[in-house]
Amino acid sequence: MSASNGKKLTIRSRIDYADFSLDIDNELQLKGVTGLFGPSGGGKSTLLRVIAGLNQNAGGQVSFAETDWQKESLFVPAHKRQVGYVFQDARLFEHLSVAGNLRFALDRSGPGEKNNSFDDVVDALDLHSLLNRGVAKLSGGERQRVAIARTMLSQPELLLLDEPLAALDADRKREIYPTIAALPDRFGVPIIFVSHAVDEMAQLTESVVVLEAGRIVAEASTEKILSRDSLRGSIQAFEAMSVLDVTVVEQLESLHLVRVDHRGQSLAIPSHAGVQNGAALRLLVRAGDVVLATEKPQGLSVRNILSGTITSIDPNPNSAFAVVSVDVDGAVINAQITNQAVQALNLQSGKNVYVLLKAASFDRPGA
């Protein structure tokens, strides 16, 4: 995904409320889109407000790219931090056109050279056809694109997106995913993307920070975070998951499928509007949708069969299931199967197996 260099964000801050405390002491390397993930009420939006300088009661230290925003007696106010903040509800000026909203932000950015020009931002967010439209006539997805564009024209060094896709359906999300994912490389601005939706994390982020009860409990690549069965409470899922980066190689139009390449092995998945050959896609596979076989199966309706090697078996002591991790050409695919199946198939680390993935398992949000 992003090839941009990372920028360090240091946060050492504690805020105590009547029923909640935010207690952060971390250095985060922000590159591309970083997910801030966790259950509702875990402190995600509170942490964004600390970063943005919207909570003057937050003591401690906040610095970004070697610039101190607050420490001891220093507190740089929000309007001087060059942080862009996009909320779930977009918060556009209803009395202005799309162009009016954008030019307002550009004018407010002050004099001097603009890193993000009007034309570049309009092009990146695909807003040419909407410039003269009133914002009241925009769809939910269009409103969010305009909100992001307006924020980019304020010339931020860091972009904070607070659940911007929560109100969109699956199709609208698919439309906006590539747009958001491309922004860091195009403009050199890292993004912190807040969500408690697994599909959004899988599609957009390169790394994920998990926040629970006001504390950061995990930080790793998206693939590693979503594959951790131990975090399933945080990510509101019932099983471990896998993230597969694939490339579209063929359109199977009569079957409404596309063939994709995953590290030299082929998969067929449902096609969606706008998916072209050469497109890079990210697939989210739930462990419960994965079937394992010790011999290559014949005569099955399942057409997606990959070969790999078991790297670990993690039984859940409180259930009948275990998570079996399989290395498939360097990527990890997790399967949730019964402990009985593990024993019957004599599964163990180092054993070669076949991984079966139904095409229907990809035909849902996140695929």
- DSSP per residue, 173-230: HHHHHHHHHHHHHHH---EEEEES-HHHHHHH-SEEEEEETTEEEEEEEHHHHHT-GG
Mean pLDDT score across all residues of the chain: 89
Indicate the CATH number for domain 243-362. Answer: 2.40.50.100
Q: Which uninterrupted H or E stretch holds 336?
A: strand 331-338
Q: Which uninterrupted H or E stretch holds 51?
A: helix 44-52
Over residues 222-272, the pLDDT tens digits come to 888 887 655 655 554 445 788 888 999 999 999 999 999 999 999 999 987
Over residues 110-133, the pLDDT tens digits come to 666 678 899 999 999 999 999 999
Sequence ranges of the domains in the chain: 7-232, 243-362
Whether the predicted pLDDT of 4 surpasses 70: no
Q: Give the integer Cα–Cα distance in Å for 339 and 353.
A: 16
Residues 6+ apart with CB under 8 A from 312: 324, 325, 349
Contact 160, 48 (CB under 8 A): yes
Q: What is the per-residue pLDDT for 230?
A: 53
Structure tokens given for 196: 């408690």
Q: Reduced to 3 DSSP states, what percent helix, strand and coil does the chain have, rounded to the nearest 5? A: 25, 35, 35
Closest CA to 46 of 213, 253, 261, 183: 213
What CATH homologous superfamily does 7-232 map to?
Answer: P-loop containing nucleotide triphosphate hydrolases (3.40.50.300)
Reported pTM = 0.84
Counting DSSP H helices and E strands in the chain, the numbers are: 8, 20
Closest CA to 262 of 159, 357, 125: 357
Domains 7-232 and 243-362 share a fold: no
Closest CA to 86 of 195, 13, 208, 209: 195
Would strands 257-262 and 265-270 be described as parallel, antiparallel, or unpaired? antiparallel
